[in-house]
Chain A
Amino acid sequence: ILNVEQSPQSLHVQEGDSTNFTCSFPSSNFYALHWYRWETAKSPEALFVMTLNGDEKKKGRISATLNTKEGYSYLYIKGSQPEDSATYLCAFSAGRRALTFGSGTRLQVQP
Chain B
Amino acid sequence: EAQVTQNPRYLITVTGKKLTVTCSQNMNHEYMSWYRQDPGLGLRQIYYSMNVEVTDKGDVPEGYKVSRKEKRNFPLILESPSPNQTSLYFCASSLREPDNEQFFGPGTRLTVL
Contacts and interface: CB of A to CB of B under 8 A. Distances in A.
Interface of A: 1, 31-32, 34, 36, 43-46, 49, 51, 89, 91, 93, 96-104
Interface of B: 33, 35, 40-45, 48, 50, 56, 58-59, 90, 97-107
A88 to B, nearest CB: 11
B44 A101 contact: yes
A43 B42 contact: no
28 contacts: A31-B97, A31-B98, A43-B90, A43-B105, A44-B102, A46-B101, A46-B102, A46-B103, A51-B99, A89-B42, A91-B98, A93-B99, A97-B50, A97-B56, A98-B56, A98-B98, A99-B45, A99-B48, A99-B102, A100-B45, A100-B59, A101-B35, A101-B42, A101-B43, A101-B44, A101-B45, A103-B42, A104-B42
A100 B102 CA distance: 12
Given A44-B104, A97-B48, A98-B48, 10 more contacts: A36-B102, A43-B107, A44-B43, A91-B98, A96-B97, A96-B99, A97-B50, A97-B56, A98-B45, A98-B56
A36 to B, nearest CB: 8
